[in-house]
Amino acid sequence: MRGPGGGTPLRRLVVLRHAKSAWPDGVPDHERPLAPRGRRDAPAAGRALAETGSVPDLALCSTAVRARRTWELAAAEWDTPPPVRFDPRLYGADVPEILDVVHETPADVETLLLVGHNPGLEELVLDLAGDGLDDALDEVRLKFPTSAVAVLAWYGPDWRALTPGTALLTSMTVPRGEKPHPSKS
């Protein structure tokens, strides 16, 4: 979609916080796996992105195990998953570091998915959003929990043009997978 007068394209940055992780003893933070709830919620996030037409052209993902597994489970819900780049700079990154990675995105990518961690992702959404639809900004300010998905839209010639305050936060959702039903014996 092109901007007013057919100019610059509409771009979307889809921000996905990794699903709920486990805290096993003796496992370094980077290697922490998903918890059972995370293994349920990550596919729900993928389904939610498909249902809203937010399947990306490219994904950028932290190298942490919990982020990679969130990506794998979400992307498995799509007919044709996009290419993914696992970037170690996204692990533990703050807003300027995240934006450095995002700004390297090729100009032909119109929808970009970012899979990573808090507090960086929550701060990124709040920094980039100059405004929001409905109560999306208030929801992010309140909490950006695991598996949260924020969609930011903006017009720009390339990803380097994405700067604080230039995007519209169009939605914030927290997809949840169904809990297993207790078996009847």
Digit-by-digit pLDDT tens for the chain (185 residues) are: 444 445 678 999 999 999 999 999 999 999 999 999 999 999 999 999 999 988 999 999 999 999 999 999 999 999 999 999 999 999 999 999 999 999 999 999 999 999 999 999 999 999 999 999 889 999 999 999 999 999 999 999 999 999 999 999 999 999 998 877 666 54
CB atoms within 10 A of CB 97: 15
What does DSSP say about strands 167-173 and 10-17: parallel, antiparallel, or unpaired?
unpaired
Distance between CA atoms of residues 111 and 75, nearest Å: 14
Q: Do 45 and 175 touch, CB atoms closer than 8 A?
A: yes
Cβ-contact 152, 128 below 8 angstroms: yes
Token pair 């992702």 in the structure block, residue: 121
What's the CA gap between 50 and 42, in Å, rounded?
13
**pTM for the whole thing?**
0.92
